[in-house]
C-alpha cells in the first residue's frame, strides 16, 4: 500500500478504533485477525518493544511479515526501540504501512522521517506523557502522524493520563491537517474526550481483547467516538 493510500484510508475512517495486538491470542493469530476484520477495524496497531528503550520485550519483523500475509488492512507499527534508524527499511520491507518512532529515541528525527518517506511508507513521531511538545515541533512538517502516549510507553493496562488531551488540543492548533493518534488507557470512559480533543486514531487494547465479543466492543467504542466527532 502506498503512503498516500494508507493516509487516505485512515483519514476517511477517522475517528477510527485501531486494536493493539499486544493482548491478542498469538496462538490463533489468523482467527484473531479475521475477528477484527469482521468487526470493521480500519487498521492494526503493532507495538514493537526491544527491552531497552522500554523494559518490556515484544515482537519484531517476523510478526509484521506474518500479518502482512494474513490481511490487507494497513499495519500501523509503533517502534518503542533504541536507535530506530537501524530498522526502518526492515520494517517497511516486512509490510509496515505506517511507521512511528519515539522522539525520545533519537536526537535528529528529521532524517528518519525523510527516510521513511523515501521507503514509501507513512511516518510519524510518538512522545511519552512526560515529554514536552516542543521536542517535536521542528519536525511536524515531515510527520504524517503524531502518536500521543497517554501512558508511559512499555506496558498495556495503565491508567490514562489527561495530559494527552492537552497535547492533542495543541497539536490540532499547530497542524490541523495532520493525523493525530492516542495510545494508552483508551476505553469507553476516555474515547469521547480523546476525539473531542483532536484524536483521529484511537489505539485500544484491553477494552477490546478483554471482552469475548470484539465486534460489539469495537462498535461501542466507534459509536462513542463518532458521537464526539459530531459534537465537534
* Mean pLDDT of the residues in the chain: 94
For position 156, what pLDDT does the model report?
58
Phi, psi (degrees; rounded to nearest 5) at 79:
-90, 110
Domain 3-231, CATH homologous superfamily name and number? Aldolase class I (3.20.20.70)
Residues carrying an active site annotation: 47, 183
pLDDT at 4 over 90: no
Task: Give the total residue count for the chain.
Answer: 232
* SS3 annotation, 133-178: HHHCHHHHHHCCEEEEECCCCCCCCCCCCCHHHHHHHHHHHHCCCC
For position 53, what pLDDT does the model report?
75
pLDDT at 180 over 80: yes
- The secondary structure of residue 198, as a DSSP letter, is T
Break the chain into its structural domains and give their ranges.
3-231
For position 55, what pLDDT does the model report?
76
Cα separations in angstroms, 86 against 58, 79, 112, 214: 18, 11, 10, 35
Q: Name the pTM for this structure.
A: 0.95
Which residues fall within 8 angstroms of residue 196, CB to CB, at 6 or more apart? 228, 231, 232
Amino acid at each position: 500500500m502506498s503512503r498516500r493510500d494508507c493516509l487516505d484510508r485512515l483519514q476517511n475512517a477517522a475517528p477510527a478504533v485501531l486494536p493493539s495486538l499486544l493482548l491478542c491470542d498469538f496462538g490463533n493469530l489468523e482467527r484473531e485477525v479475521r475477528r477484527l476484520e469482521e468487526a470493521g477495524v480500519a487498521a492494526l496497531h503493532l507495538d514493537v518493544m526491544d527491552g531497552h528503550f522500554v523494559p518490556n520485550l515484544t515482537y519484531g519483523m517476523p510478526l509484521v511479515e506474518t500479518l502482512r500475509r494474513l490481511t490487507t488492512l494497513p499495519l500501523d507499527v509503533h517502534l518503542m526501540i533504541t536507535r530506530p534508524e537501524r530498522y526502518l527499511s526492515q520494517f517497511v520491507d516486512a509490510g509496515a504501512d505506517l511507521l512511528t518512532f519515539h522522539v525520545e529515541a533519537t536526537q535528529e528525527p528529521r532524517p528518519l522521517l525523510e527516510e521513511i518517506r523515501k521507503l514509501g511508507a507513512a511516518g510519524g513521531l510518538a512522545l511519552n506523557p512526560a515529554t514536552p511538545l516542543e521536542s517535536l515541533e521542528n519536525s511536524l512538517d515531515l510527520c504524517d502522524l503524531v502518536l500521543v502516549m497517554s501512558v508511559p510507553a512499555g506496558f498495556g493496562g495503565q491508567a490514562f493520563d489527561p495530559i494527552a488531551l492537552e497535547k492533542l488540543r495543541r497539536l490540532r492548533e499547530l497542524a490541523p491537517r495532520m493525523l493525530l493518534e492516542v495510545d494508552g488507557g483508551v476505553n469507553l470512559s476516555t474515547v469521547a474526550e480523546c476525539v473531542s480533543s483532536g484524536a483521529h486514531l484511537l489505539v485500544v487494547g484491553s477494552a477490546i481483547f478483554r471482552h469475548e465479543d470484539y465486534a460489539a466492543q469495537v462498535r461501542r467504542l466507534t459509536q462513542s467516538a463518532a458521537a464526539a466527532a459530531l459534537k465537534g
